[in-house]
Amino acid sequence: MAFSIHGIYVSKGIALGKSFLWKKNQPNIEKKHLADDLIDDEIERFNQALNKTQNDLHAIALKLPSSTTADVSEFVDAHLLMLKDFNLSSIPIKLIRENKCNAEWALNCQRKVLLSIFDEMDDAYLKTRKDDVNHVINSVQQNLHDGSNDYNDFYDVNLKHKIVIAEDFSPAEIILMHQQGIGAFVTEYGGYISHTAILARSFGLPAIVGVKNICHYIGDNERLVVDGFNGVVFSETDELVENYFINRINEEKLVKQTLAKLVDSTISTQDAVSVKLNANIEGLNDISSVKKLNADGVGLYRTEFLFLNRQDIPGEEEQVENYVAAITALAGKPLVLRTLDIGGDKTITPDYIESTANPALSLRAIRLCLNDLKYFLPQIRAILRASATGPVQLMVPMLTNLNELKRVNVIIDQAKSELSSEGYEFDEKIKIGGMIEVPAAALLADAFAKELDFLSIGTNDLIQYTLAIDRMDDKVNYLYDPSHPAVLQLIKKIIDAGEKHQIPVTMCGDMAGDVDYIRLLLGLGLREFSMSPSSLLEVKQIVKNTDISKIKSICHDLLTTYEHDKIRQSINGLNS
Ligand code: PEP
Ligand code: MG
């Protein structure tokens, strides 16, 4: 029977093929009481299972093709580290001894302890690391059970072009299935930022997660279509529908080929207006794509990612090392280092920040930094020291009033004079920019532009604060609207302020990489964009096909169009 079922798309693309239902046989774990003289043997059995799991992972690492991205090899390293960690390598042994129990039971007890720690975390990203703990422990359990891991089974079945379905997959399994040439995968569980999803994206493998009960609805060898653009799985469709998707696949191939040709081209519009396209990064690993895509530079380095996943604050030396590594890798392309933006939805170790009823409106970003210089001063010193080695700009997030900026400048001056007397070199004239992402700052853009070297529009927060919608709350997601006239008027105000004071204005929020709004932003006068690297070539194509002189007046009219349907109509008109 033909039907369709929906989930969350985590990796774009379309695949047609036969289903393969992956049934995992997780061993049923029971507690067994062991006599004293069997304890050492049990510990030996546990150590062997641990070693076998490590060897399995090493074998996977060796099979990775040289073209494999850093994401993939890093996850193998992360799982190997987990296996060596005290929590998995020593505590279960202690539990076997203390409880005189079987290794499976001891490992399961430790699993519960570790998972409860993850459950208490507020950070959505860290919560997804729970999957890794489960995957690693499942592998050890499998090796305890019968000495063989599910991994081996992947070589026994022909998965080529298959659409593989399961409750969940570990990242290791995704690598193996990719090597077997699967067409796509669909799971009942999982989230957009799980390692499994990250791998799917880096392999370009269409994937949908969170398809509830799919293992019950679909059996083996059913003809399926996976639409990874919309998160829909179609079962037993007719020829007409299949032909539609075959055409879509061919169209996608052509789009990719066309986009790849744009890598080396200069970026200017049809009417010869030059435009800068920068990339946003969260860490050093992202720089390879910045270079591959030939972005103009990095318009936003979210340095707070260096502060996540750890119990301590990265010190000045560690930060200098990280920033210098970024500058070196960028080989002359400019780097905008945004100072720490934690708080709000980006929580780190609990003792850093006291919990509060409304974190988005609380001590976040520059407020937190000015409240406690232990975060800020070492970072400012590190950024300044790094500036001696290449083109660096410093950007301050979430400014609300000019007084904050004055205090930032005092701290920068203090750091400069400290570094001078300590004999460090730095760029005396380092450019200082501010993120305009609070409506109050947008309304005062003129005053900020007078005091700063550049402005960067953070639309993610500007929209959140202007429209009073929590970025994290899916109940008000429907109100998220970059083309709301209030948002557009604020954006225009910021662009105009930059023009008046002759300083660059860039945009680094998601709107800057959203193909729907590029022409509108160009028409409003924006000339610098910074976005996720994955959007860069598509945006470049739009810029090159735009004649600003022809769309300017429509864009300006939009500032005073208040009806949603009319706004949408005009934007569609701009993009057609
Ligand atoms: C923004 O708010 O638009 C922005 C770029 O910063 P972040 O998403 O990190 O808050
Ligand atoms: Mg922001």
Q: Is the CB of 437 under 6 A from ligand 1?
A: yes
Question: Same domain, yes or no, for 93 and 150?
Answer: yes
Q: What confidence score (pLDDT) does residue 331 get?
A: 96
For strand 276-281 and strand 232-235, is the pairing parallel, antiparallel, or unpaired?
unpaired
Identity of residue 347: T
Residues 472, 376 share a domain: yes
The CATH number assigned to the domain holding 505 equals 3.20.20.60
Domain end marker among 260, 285, 302: 260
| Ligand 2 mean position, distance from CA 52 (Å) | 45
Q: Are residues 4 and 100 in the same domain?
A: yes
At residue 169, the pLDDT reads: 85
CA atoms 196, 198, 201, 207: torsion sign? positive
Tokens standing for residue 351: 């003792």
Instruction: Give the H/E segment covering residue 446.
Output: helix 445-451
Atom of ligand 1 nearest to the CA of 458: 3
Please give the helix or strand (H or E) that residue 365 lies within, else none: helix 365-371
Atom of ligand 1 nearest to the CA of 508: 5
Contact criterion met (CB below 8 Å) for 533 and 552? no
Q: Which atom, in ligand 1's list, is nearest to the CA of 341? A: 9
What SS3 state is found at 543?
A: helix
Catalytic pick among 195, 369, 501, 555: 195
Q: How, if at all, do strands 392-396 and 431-436 pair?
A: parallel
341 neighbors 304 (Cβ within 8 angstroms): yes
Ligand 1 atom closest to the Cα of residue 304 is: 9
Phi and psi for 304 in degrees, rounded to 5? -65, -20
Distance of CA 548 from the midpoint of ligand 2 (Å): 28
Query: Could you give the 3-state DSSP secondary structure of residue 408?
Result: helix
Q: Is the beta carbon of 304 within 6 A of some atom in ligand 1? A: no
423 & 331 share domain: yes
The three-state (H, E, C) secondary structure of 35-94, written as one string: CHHHHHHHHHHHHHHHHHHHHHHHHHHHHCCCCCCHHHHHHHHHHHHHHHCHHHHCHHHH
* Nearest-angstrom CA–CA distance, 445 and 486: 15
The protein residue whose alpha carbon is closest to atom 6 in ligand 1 is: 458
How far is ligand 1, taken at its centre, from the CA of residue 302, in Å? 9
Tally of domains in the chain: 2
| Residue 353 one-letter amino acid | I
Atom 1 of ligand 1, residue of closest alpha carbon: 458
Q: List alpha helices for 185-271, DSSP H.
A: 195-203, 214-217, 239-260
- pLDDT at 145 (0 to 100): 76
Estimate to the nearest angstrom the gap between the alpha carbon of 187 and the chain centroid.
20
In this structure, what token pair is assigned to residue 352?
A: 């850093």
Q: Which residue has the tokens 């706004």?
A: 567
* pLDDT for the residue 19: 94
| 230 and 278, same domain (yes or no) | no
Helices (H) and strands (E) in the chain, counts: 24, 16
Binding site membership of 546 for ligand 1 (Cβ less than 6 Å): no
The continuous run of DSSP H or E covering 499 comes out as helix 485-501
Q: For the chain, how many residues are written?
A: 576
DSSP 8-state symbol, 17 = E
CA distance from start to end of the chain: 38
Same domain, 130 and 57: yes
Q: How far is the CA of 426 from the centre of ligand 2 (A)?
A: 27
For each of the chain's 576 residues, which pLDDT tens digit applies?
Answer: 678 899 888 788 999 999 999 876 556 677 888 889 889 999 999 999 999 899 888 888 877 766 666 767 777 888 888 899 989 999 999 999 998 999 998 998 898 888 888 777 777 666 667 778 888 888 888 888 765 545 556 556 789 999 999 988 877 788 788 888 999 999 988 766 566 776 787 677 999 988 888 988 888 899 999 999 999 999 988 899 999 999 999 998 888 888 889 998 888 999 999 999 999 888 887 898 899 999 999 999 989 878 865 668 899 999 999 999 999 999 999 999 999 998 776 666 544 556 677 888 988 899 999 998 988 999 999 999 999 999 999 999 999 999 999 999 999 999 999 999 999 999 999 999 999 999 999 999 999 999 999 999 999 899 989 999 877 665 676 788 899 999 999 999 999 999 999 999 999 988 998 889 999 999 999 999 998 887 899 999 999 999 999 999 999 999 999 999 999 999 999 999
The residues, any chain, with a CB within 8 Å of residue 193's CB and separated by 6 or more, are 124, 125, 128
Q: Is the CB of 150 under 6 A from ligand 1?
A: no
- Compute the CA torsion angle 534, 183, 53, 98 (nearest 10 deg): 90
The 8-class DSSP code of residue 274 comes to B
Which residue in 332, 337, 351 sits closest to 306, CA to CA?
Answer: 337
Give, as one character, the DSSP assignment of residue 341. -
- Let me know whether 207 and 304 are in one domain: no
> Of ligand 1's atoms, which has the minimum distance to the CA of residue 345?
10
For 229, counting Cβ atoms within 10 Å of its Cβ (0-12 exposed, 13-18 middle, 19+ buried), the class is middle
Q: Which of 211, 231, 260 is the last residue of a domain?
A: 260
Question: Which residue from 425, 427, 445 is spatially nearest to 436, judged by alpha carbons?
Answer: 445
Q: Is the CB of 393 under 6 A from ligand 1?
A: no
Q: What is the CATH number of the domain that holds 211?
A: 3.50.30.10
329: three-class secondary structure by DSSP: helix
Which residues are within 8 A (CB) of 537 and not within 5 positions of it... i.e. 6 or more apart?
A: 259, 260, 262, 263, 293
How does 351-372 read in b/e, with b if 16+ C-beta sit within 10 Å? ebbeeeeebbeebbbbbbbbee
Contact 17, 161 (CB under 8 A): yes
Please confirm, yes or no, whether 369 is among the known catalytic residues: no
User: Are residues 373 and 307 both part of a single domain?
Assistant: yes
pLDDT at 194: 62
Residues, beta carbon < 5 Å, ion ligand 2: 437, 458, 461
Write down the pLDDT at residue 514. 86
Range of the domain at 461: 269-575
Specify whether 247 is located in the same domain as 315.
no
Structure tokens at 555: 């864009």
Dihedral sign from CA coordinates of 73, 154, 180, 132: negative
Of 278, 253, 420, the closest CA to residue 336 belongs to 278
Where does residue 298 rank: exposed (0-12), middle (13-18), buried (19+ CB within 10 A)?
buried
Q: Is the pTM of this model over 0.85?
A: no
Q: What is the amino acid identity at position 539? A: V
Ligand 1 binding pocket includes 532 (Cβ within 6 Å): no
| Token code pair at residue 154 | 């992947």
Beta bridge partners of 274: 268
Q: Which two tokens stand for residue 363?
A: 């001590």
Any atom of ligand 1 within 6 Å of the Cβ of 344:
no
**Ligand 2 centroid, distance to 510 Cα (angstroms):** 10
Is the CB of 427 inside a 6 Å radius of any atom of ligand 1? no
Note if 195 is an active site residue.
yes
The sheet carrying 163-166 orders its strands as 3-6, 232-235, 223-227, 14-21, 163-166, 184-187, 207-209, 8-11
Q: Which two tokens stand for residue 321?
A: 């090392």
Which listed ligand is nearest to 304 at the C-alpha?
A: 1
Domain end point (choices 231, 260, 289)? 260
Q: What residues contact 284, with CB distance under 8 A and at least 6 apart?
A: 322, 325, 326, 329
As a whole number of angstroms, the distance between CA 307 and CA 23 comes to: 39
> Which is the catalytic residue, given 79, 135, 501, 508?
508
How far, in Å, from the CA of 509 to the mean position of ligand 1?
5
Within 8 A by CB and 6+ apart from 323, the residues are 303, 335, 337, 382, 383, 386, 392
Claim to verify: residue 176 and residue 311 sit in the same structural domain: no
* Residue 117 sits in the same domain as residue 139: yes
Per-residue HEC secondary structure of 563-576 comes to CHHHHHHHHHHHHC
Same-domain status, 409 and 501: yes
